[in-house]
Amino acid sequence: MGQSVRVRILGVGMGPHHVTPEVAAALQTVDYVLAADKGADDGDDGLLALRREIVRVHAGTRVAPEIIPVRDPERDRSTGLSLTGYEGAVTDWHEARAAAYAAVLEKRGGTAAFLVWGDPSLYDSTIRVVEKAGELLRKAGVSVDFDVLPGISAPQLLAARHRIVLHEVGRPVHITTGRRLQEAVAAGLDNIVAMLNPPPERLDLTGLDDWMLWWGANLGAAGEQLVSGRLGEVLPAVAGARASAKADAGWVMDLFLVRKT
């Protein structure tokens, strides 16, 4: 193999102020940053603009590495997908992403970075996609090496903003997705963090009215929103707060902790 590529997967929390010194130093070693472009044809999406700001702030004394937007492949987001259908749609999406990134990496070579919201270890597929891209590149005769640096995760921010511990003394916390929330409740779990959530009207919160809720959207970013209290009492406020966060930033990422009382 003649050509080689290095990829650095960097957790960046939710903006320049969350970037650790370790990640900041890593940013100064890369030639360019690859980023999924989910915006309209006539401009950046809000998250791409935030990546540009992160790179600008942490460029140090060198010229900031170029952001290379890669148009994000379409994913089947049908609301009626079964769990198997959802997992298949995500797998297809990851494979399409891997092919798109591999094409850019093969062409440019050098050292590339991916900036991952929160932490790469938690409900993010960048590592999986880079592994798939690496397989494609190796078949094309390009050697690939990658490393991963951690960032501040969304559950960490949620706990900090609400000034709580994610679990009671000596008890576990279960982290899942909004899609699988009721599955966790049915299994007897009663202290649950839910991420990758759809809008509140599409969440199944049956039987949780008396549980405590700690909810947050766009934590650490523009338009951050927080709601807490007994779920049945505060749920109506969540929809409005979520809409406000999206209006302020142009995008919304939310999560919550629910705990049986």
pLDDT of 148 > 70? The answer is yes
Residue 10 and residue 130 in one domain: yes
Q: Give residue 83's pLDDT band: very low, low, confident or very high (50, 70, 90).
A: low
Domain boundary at 108, 131, 149, which?
149
Q: What is the pLDDT of residue 132?
A: 96
Considering the domain architecture, whether residues 135 and 192 belong to the same structural domain is answered as no
DSSP 14-38: TSGGG--HHHHHHHTT-SEEEEEE-
Q: CB neighbours (10 Å) of residue 107?
A: 8
- pLDDT confidence of residue 61: 72
pLDDT value for 42: 45
Mean predicted confidence (pLDDT) in 99-112: 96
Q: Rounded mean pLDDT of 111-134?
A: 96
Of the candidates 139, 108, 115, the residue with the CA atom closest to the CA atom of residue 55: 115
Q: Are residues 100 and 175 in the same domain?
A: no
Q: Hey, CA dihedral for 45, 201, 117, 32, is it positive or negative?
A: negative
Mark whether 59 and 176 lie in a shared domain: no
> Which CATH number does the domain housing residue 219 bear?
3.30.950.10
Q: pLDDT exceeding 90 applies to what percent of the chain?
A: 77
pLDDT digits (tens, 9 = 90+) for 174-231: 999 999 999 999 999 999 999 999 888 889 999 999 999 999 999 999 899 999 999 9
Q: Which of 118, 149, 180 is the last residue of a domain?
A: 149
pLDDT > 80? residue 85: no
Q: Write down which residue in 106, 130, 149 finishes a domain.
A: 149
| pLDDT tens digit sequence for 26-53 | 999 999 999 988 765 445 577 888 999 9
pLDDT reported for residue 1: 44
- Reported as a pLDDT band with limits 50, 70 and 90, residue 79 is low
Calculate the dihedral angle through the C-alpha atoms of 45, 47, 51, 53, rounding to the nearest 10 degrees.
80
Same domain membership, residue 128 and residue 70: yes
Above 90 in pLDDT, residue 238? yes
Residue 81 confidence (pLDDT) above 70:
no
- Domain interval for residue 31: 4-149
